[in-house]
Amino acid sequence: MLGNVRGQQRRRAILHAAIQVVAHGGAGSLTHRSTAAEAGVSLASVTYHFPGISDLRKATLTHAAQVIGSELAGTLGFRADQSAAVDALVARWRAVGLQRRAEFVAIFTLLVEALHDPDLHDEVDALLAAPAAMLVAEGCPRDLAEGVVAALVGLGLVSLARSQNADEVGAAAAARRFDQSAIALFGGLAASSRQAHGTDLANQLNEGE
């Protein structure tokens, strides 16, 4: 039993290291050897848990999505107002993105890699389904929910890609770009939400600052 617990802990440590490798060097830098070096474990330890590079890629994307998903999870509390629910998800997405930059970069990097790697398609579907389900649970039509999530992914990807660096200054710049784009894109929804709840998207986004 203890060995199994240690094995799971080692596996999580390897995946955390893999996320860092992808976040700093891109998908092409993710190898068994680079992950072992980042994790401070033997190469054999990495290949034991993830025999092939495809196994490592899929597990890295899944793990990053689970980390993000666990922090996004929870009811949004706006079942009577779909617009407010969308606003709340946008604000939560932004806040988690600031806290989990490496995971977001790894996710977006591997999403792009999925264009050339069909083995990642199932993981991509699962990644996008989770936040969409949060909006569906609030009463949003599934097509709207999936569209909002796709837009958030695009906004996040572009904001991070335009950042000059990964330090606090770069993160702040990415957040500002995300704010500006989100307000422009979801402004119509925010306007109707403001009438009903006395708030707007800009205020909700700024709560994370």
pLDDT tens digits, one per residue of 100-143 = 888 989 999 999 999 999 889 988 888 888 888 888 887 888 88
Distances (CA, A) of 158 to 14, 109, 111: 28, 12, 13
Dmax over CA atoms of the chain, in Å, equals 59
Amino acid at 23: A
Q: Which of 68, 83, 74 is nearest to 156 (CA)?
A: 68
Structural tokens at position 169: 């200054």
Confidence bin at 79 (pLDDT 50/70/90): low
- What confidence tens digit (pLDDT) does each residue in 4-40 have? 878 889 999 999 999 999 999 999 999 999 999 999 9
pLDDT over 70 for what percent of the chain? 81
Mean pLDDT score across all residues of the chain:
81
Give the CA angle between residues 186, 148, 180 to the nearest 5°: 35
Other Cβ atoms closer than 10 A to 169 = 11
Q: Which of 18, 53, 12 is nearest to 36 (CA)?
A: 18
pLDDT given for residue 75 in this prediction: 64
Alpha helices in the chain (DSSP H): 2-25, 32-39, 43-49, 53-72, 82-99, 101-113, 121-137, 142-161, 168-197, 201-206
CATH fold of 2-56:
Arc Repressor Mutant, subunit A (1.10.10)
Does residue 192 or residue 175 have the better pLDDT? 175
